[in-house]
Chains A and B, each alone.
Chain A
Amino acid sequence: MTTDTAPRGAALERPSQPRTLGSSQLAWRRLRRNPLSMLGLAIIVAFVLTALLAPVIAPPKEGARDPYMMPHEGYSPDPQPPRPGHPLGTTEQAFDIFYGLVWGARTAFRVGLVVVATAVTIGIVLGGISGYYGGRLDETLMRIVDVFLAFPGLILAVVVVAILGPGLERVMIALALVSWPGYARLLRGEVLSIRERDFVEAAKALGASDPKIIARHVLPNSIYPVLVVSTLDMGSIVVYAAALSFLGLGAPVGYSDWGQIVSLSRSWILGSAGNALQYWYTVVFPGAALFLFTLGWNLLGDAFRDILDPRLRGST
């Protein structure tokens, strides 16, 4: 959907369900055969390394109290182009773009992982229960999901952040709150079709307990669409958080967060008279980081689907 709207890909998109799980070796071979998937993997690995090595690549200033705050010399209102010491230039209020992008990789993973993990966990628990037990419980839970899905996503996120106050943690809470219903509905659909299968019936007949059946038989066979969608969401969540920054509800100014850095560029997309591209670096570099990150997760998501979906296997 638009980056305006909530990351509700999960609700709309239902990747076809797998029937069996291929061996991991097979998966790896398929992944390796596709250059695009490898590219996606390479991008994500590069970002992981950047995030892990942030203190080495962009060491914080001596005595800096919070390494996530971008260092700045002065508070100059105008961005300054790349120069020695500031390889990607500085943005408004003299924040160093390079530092912000490097440490922003950590923020991106943190936001993506926390939001997706929270949303997926809630989605799995509620969706799983709903799908497995069915009946009135299912009906109740799904009506709650309906309510959350009917609430305009951006508005809900904005209301939550406006109530809790701006800040990255609050943004994560808001985004998780907006994303979980999609996963719940997706998983419920999968569980519904799995629970009628022979092997589940067989396990039941053998007297296995419900939690055990869910954990051992139902979930492993219904989780793949969730996995694919959550991979795609990893990228889009970060872009979505940028929209909240644009509305003044994101991380504080100066915090190493790509969305925050991109929204700082909103005033600098126009250059000055006679030099329309004067401030290009305020848009291009953070934009490139966002693009590559989203691209990486998208390619990886596509790869996962291709690997996990048996119906696509072997096609040319």
Chain B
Amino acid sequence: MRRLRRQVLLLLALTLSLSLVGLTGTATGQAIKNPDTFIQVSFGDWDTFDYAWAYDTSSHTIIFNVYEPLIFYDGGRVDRFVPRLATTVPSVANGLVSADGRTYTFPIRQGVKFHDGTPMTAEDAAYSLRRFLMIDRDGGPTSLLLEPILGMTKTRDDKGNLVLRYDDLQRAVQVKGNSVVVTLKEPFGPFLSIMALWSNVVSKKWAIANGDWDGTAATMAKYNNLKRESSAFFERANGTGPFKLERWDRAGKQVILVRNDGYWRTPARLARVVFRSIDEAATRVLMLKAGDADSIAISRREQPQVEGDPDIRLIDNLPWLRADAFFFTVDIDTRGNPDVGSGRLDGAGIPANFFSDVRVRRGFAYAFDYATFLRDAFRNQGTLPKGVIPPGMLGFNPNAEYFSFSREKAIAELREAWGGQVWERGFRATVLYNTGNVVREVGARILKDGVEALNPKFRLDVRGITWASYLAAMNDGKLPVFWVGWVADYPDPHNFAFHFLHSDGTFPKGQRFKNDELDRMVTAAIKETDRDKRQKLYFQINQKFFELAPSVSPVHQVVFRVQRSWVRGWYNNPVFPGTYYYTIFKG
């Protein structure tokens, strides 16, 4: 017993001494912790740092600070560009865009050095772009540029054989003196805005030395649909950007960037940027409060926990190029499907084509309480929906006619649906969301409560399923009503119109929705080069989106940023994948 007591005492003493060490080791008051290091704490992992492979915001944030594109967005504007690794932004006026709108010439900046000290050339820029077009991993970003430049969505046929021809690639992207010349298949309005995000330049020499594609036809097939880990750029980088990738510390779940002192502009003010991944939101909040994080990612739910603290700044109401919608599947796969009840219109289920009647879709849309959704899911930040195109983008119509919560209109639509049978017999179906997504969950419940309040025979269940099941069921057309959001790949309405309304777009495919008129309208709008005419076309598309309601936009979201008050120099551009650290300092 006595010995044990001694052990316990020892343990206590150890704890106490640790506490003392802790006390002395703690920074006091307002002193800036780690003045020249920025610590960003978020959740989730990084995929890869290969600029041609990454398609998630975490990875892209790193790439965005390590590599540089040919042109870049001007400050917070999404429609104006400044030169970056090119010396001039091509335009018809300065003669760098041909009169037919198909050929773009990018004069390449001289005197820029990669992180390893070698000079950057036009050949590097061309190689980088060709590699981006050629890699085309399954579900990667390649199609964004492949479509305008080569007029194809994939480099492989349905059997997985490479169909991209090397000659086409060389012809589309050429080096002429100190310039890179890109020839498009057809004029494509948003081409420059895609280039401003996706034309990162890497060192060809470095790539080859590290075992990546050598730029020849012979090895193209080998590197097409490259495995993530086979890329030379997977966890290392040699860019021209203001920060160098020091290390991806896999064991510590952190990524470390250090300042590039040989940067071609004035070097950045921060000496180091550290990204840490912590899954638990409450832990991130505590780290921010303790000054161990300079900025954190949190959701609206945690917002009250960081408000009212003078050391923390919450910047709200930042525009976001994002659209959300709840989608109706017009031809549901009812085989063995638990979410359609009996599978018939008998009051205990819904038939496969239940949502093919526009009145059902519009009835649901009117039954949704938009104001409550905005208040309870977003703390009233954001705006009531005006359609499929988010505010701040060409084609957004602030005066558009769109759904609002109306019991009467909902009843009027649903009374007419399926010749009155829906109203008479009632139905039962399920609205689905992916578990963990609180916003979608609240939205689904608001829809349920709104629809069920119309008629006691209406029954909507709400069910959360895992992301894997959600995605698979969406693909299989098994979800009667589902929620998804889409963040812009580049700031142009086509990105939304196509994926929400065109029958080849991502979501209509899952919905089994096809409307020939809409398809024509979306295709016509992208080919139009006149800005005002384009705007008008998107207004019309949006009107159609309201009339047909293949999906319903519940809100226009905004984002907020949480950072320590000592963070200075931050600015926002809605199209950025993450923070641009070049301008930031602590003081």
Contacts and interface: CB of A to CB of B under 8 A. Distances in A.
Asked whether any CB of A lies within 8 Å of a CB of B in the complex, the reply is yes
Interface of A: 63, 65, 74-78, 92-93, 162, 165-166, 248-249, 252-254, 266-267, 269-274
A65 B459 CA distance: 9
Contact of A165 (B302, B436, B465): B465
A267 B462 CA distance: 23
Nearest to B466: A162
B309 interface: yes
Given A75-B376, A93-B442, A266 B282 contact: yes
Interface residues of B, number: 34
A217 B369 CA distance: 66
Contacts of B435: 166, 248-249
Contacts of A166: 435, 464-466
A267 B442 contact: no
Nearest to A161: B466
A273 B309 contact: yes
A242 B435 CA distance: 16
B466 A270 contact: no
A93 B462 CA distance: 15
B305 interface: yes
A92 B301 contact: yes
A76 B376 contact: yes
Interface in B296-329: 300-302, 304-309, 312
A166 B305 CA distance: 29
A78 B436 contact: no
Contacts of A253: 441, 464
27 contacts: A65-B459, A74-B372, A75-B372, A75-B445, A77-B300, A77-B379, A78-B304, A92-B301, A93-B442, A93-B445, A162-B466, A165-B466, A166-B465, A248-B466, A249-B435, A252-B463, A266-B280, A267-B282, A267-B301, A267-B305, A270-B282, A271-B305, A272-B304, A272-B307, A273-B305, A273-B306, A273-B309
A77 B442 CA distance: 9
A226 B422 CA distance: 55
**Most chain A CB within a 10 A radius of its CB, from B300, B304, B442, B466:** B304
Contacts of A272: 304-305, 307-308
B210 interface: no
B308 A273 contact: yes
A274 to B, nearest CB: 6
Nearest to A254: B445
Interface of B: 280-282, 285-286, 300-302, 304-309, 312, 372, 376-377, 379, 435-436, 441-442, 445-446, 456, 459, 462-466, 468-469
Contacts of A92: 301
A274 B308 contact: yes
B308 to A, nearest CB: 4
Given A165-B469, A248-B435, A248-B436, A270 B286 contact: yes
Contacts of B462: 252
B465 A269 contact: no
Contacts of B376: 74-77, 93
Nearest to B302: A267
A77 B307 contact: no
Contacts of B463: 252
Contacts of B305: 267, 270-273
Which of A65, A166, A266, A267 has the largest count of B CB atoms less than 10 A from its CB? Answer: A267
A168 B457 CA distance: 26
A266 B282 CA distance: 8
Given A248-B436, A266-B282, A273 B377 contact: no
A284 to B, nearest CB: 17
A83 B291 CA distance: 36
B282 A269 contact: yes
Contacts of B301: 77, 92, 267
A253 B437 CA distance: 11
B286 A77 contact: no
Contacts of B468: 162
A248 B468 CA distance: 13
Nearest to A65: B459
B291 to A, nearest CB: 14
Contacts of A274: 308
A75 B442 contact: yes
Contacts of B286: 270
